[in-house]
């Protein structure tokens, strides 16, 4: 068993770290406070090849696996989660296109994402449909050679910025199986009847755009169906088996940042005539954080390697997602505690990390859902 990353993978890590450290720190606090993002940073990331590396070479990507993508995600999140999320989410949904899209759809859209010419996202969650996506009520009805879409979506990433979205729609409401009622429809956001409003006041990842969306008689061609009609739920589950890996890498990157900030602060801060880092209680906290980070990274490395090698282990992916998210929150909490009062003000990075961490246990499947997947796999 070889745990050594290849030279190419190590070079990817080095390049991603250098880019993030050079571009993110000076703008991170500004973007967090003002809930905005400078798309020029995203364009630079595209130019340097950091966006959509898992997209096949024939569609403009680097043709790497999800492990290489996760290596980049971890490095970006270790510098600033908000900016990292704003960049990484610009290809959100391309996994579905890559797996289930037609050749025409892939050739038309995927290169634009990699080259920094377009942004995409997904519209899945609804006001009354979160973890149970089979309660979604947004409909897509055939009318001649078009789909007519009506409904609303909540918490849509890039809903205000995206050029096109993959929308999870009910296309067969009378099907006796709830899981066979849904399909993914590709919707350009400049289509009449599409409207979005920015969700403000989020706890964390404020640089990333999140929107509430409404569809009022939105008409798109029947050819905008992605995958098979009625197979949207299965396609969504396949999507989550990839995107949950991203969350694991996000969590490890954030926890690393929390650890680094803690080391820096406790070495420089003196109490009772000695650096805080010299106290055993602090040393134990540092040791625990480092150990949890290593364990979470090993989990997501294994899960990503398995996916890249065609072995989809639902329980392993759920374990990695649940553990890494909980670990990141714990590390952020300990980091803030070690900063004391300084950690409570936003000029200190640790405060942003503390706020950014919580979403990791919520999006792409709550921690309760991940534990359900794990337990069902074990008890079946």
Statement: the pTM of the whole predicted model exceeds 0.85? yes
Do the beta carbons of residue 255 and residue 361 sit within 8 Å? Answer: no
Question: What tens digit of pLDDT does each residue of 145-179 get?
Answer: 999 999 999 999 999 999 999 999 999 999 999 99
pLDDT for 2 equals 82
pLDDT for 137 equals 96
pLDDT at 344 over 80: yes
CA 371 to chain centre: 19
pLDDT for 379 equals 96
Mean pLDDT across 17-44: 98
Domain match, 105 and 126 both: no
The answer to whether position 1 is within a domain reads no
Report residue 127's pLDDT band, with 50, 70 and 90 as the boundaries. Answer: very high
Last residue of a domain, one of 114, 140, 173: 114
pLDDT at 204 over 90: yes
Mean pLDDT across 365-379: 96
Active site residues: 364
Query: What is the domain-level CATH number for residue 73?
Result: 1.10.540.10
Last residue of a domain, one of 114, 133, 159: 114
pLDDT at 113 over 90: yes
Query: What is the domain-level CATH number for residue 304?
Result: 1.20.140.10
Query: Which residues, 6 or more positions from 93, have their beta carbon under 8 angstroms from its beta carbon?
Result: 120, 121, 122, 165, 166, 239
Domain count, the chain: 3
Residue 15 in 3-state DSSP? helix
Mean pLDDT across 309-336: 97
The answer to whether position 255 is within a domain reads yes
Question: What tens digit of pLDDT does each residue of 59-74 get?
Answer: 999 999 999 999 999 9
Q: Residue 194 belongs to what domain range?
A: 120-230
Q: For the chain, how many helices (H) and strands (E)?
A: 12, 10
Residue 325: closest CA among 362, 354, 355, 380:
362
Domain match, 355 and 281 both: yes
Domain match, 184 and 310 both: no
Mean pLDDT across 100-115: 97
The answer to whether position 336 is within a domain reads yes
* Integer Cα distance of 105 and 166 in angstroms: 12
Mean pLDDT across 360-375: 96
pLDDT at 1 over 80: no
């Amino acid at each position: 068993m070889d745990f050594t990353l290849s030279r190419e993978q190590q070079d990817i890590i080095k390049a991603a770290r250098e880019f993030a450290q050079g571009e993110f720190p000076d703008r991170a606090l500004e973007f967090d406070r003002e809930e905005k993002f400078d798309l020029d940073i995203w364009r630079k990331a595209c130019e340097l090849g950091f966006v959509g590396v898992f997209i096949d070479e024939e569609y403009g990507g680097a043709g790497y696996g999800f492990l290489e993508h996760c290596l980049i995600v971890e490095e970006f999140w270790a510098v600033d989660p908000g900016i990292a999320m704003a960049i990484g989410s610009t290809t959100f949904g391309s996994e579905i296109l890559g797996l289930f899209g037609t050749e025409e759809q892939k050739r038309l859209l995927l290169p634009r994402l990699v080259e920094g010419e377009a942004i995409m996202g997904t519209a899945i969650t609804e006001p009354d449909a979160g973890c149970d996506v089979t309660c979604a009520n947004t409909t897509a009805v055939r009318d001649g050679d078009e789909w007519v879409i009506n409904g609303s979506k909540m918490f849509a990433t890039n809903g205000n910025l995206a050029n096109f979205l993959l929308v999870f729609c009910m296309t067969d409401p009378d099907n006796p199986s709830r899981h066979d009622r849904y399909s993914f429809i590709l919707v350009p956001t400049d289509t009449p009847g599409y409207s979005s409003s920015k969700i403000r006041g989020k706890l964390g990842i404020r640089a990333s755009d999140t929107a509430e969306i409404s569809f009022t008689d939105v008409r798109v061609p029947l050819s905008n169906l992605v995958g098979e009609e009625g197979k949207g739920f299965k396609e969504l589950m396949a999507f989550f088996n990839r995107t949950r890996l991203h969350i694991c890498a996000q969590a490890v990157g954030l926890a690393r940042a929390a650890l680094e900030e803690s080391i820096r602060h406790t070495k420089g801060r003196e109490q009772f005539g000695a650096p805080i880092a010299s106290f055993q209680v602090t040393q134990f906290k540092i040791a625990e954080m480092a150990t949890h980070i290593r364990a979470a990274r090993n989990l997501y490395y294994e899960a990503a390697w398995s996916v890249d090698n065609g072995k989809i282990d639902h329980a392993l992916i759920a374990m990695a997602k649940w553990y890494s998210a909980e670990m990141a929150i714990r590390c952020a909490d300990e980091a803030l505690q070690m900063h004391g009062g300084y950690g409570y003000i936003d000029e200190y990075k640790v405060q942003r990390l503390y706020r950014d961490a919580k979403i990791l246990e919520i999006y792409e499947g709550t921690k309760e859902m991940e534990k359900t997947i794990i337990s069902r796999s074990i008890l079946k």
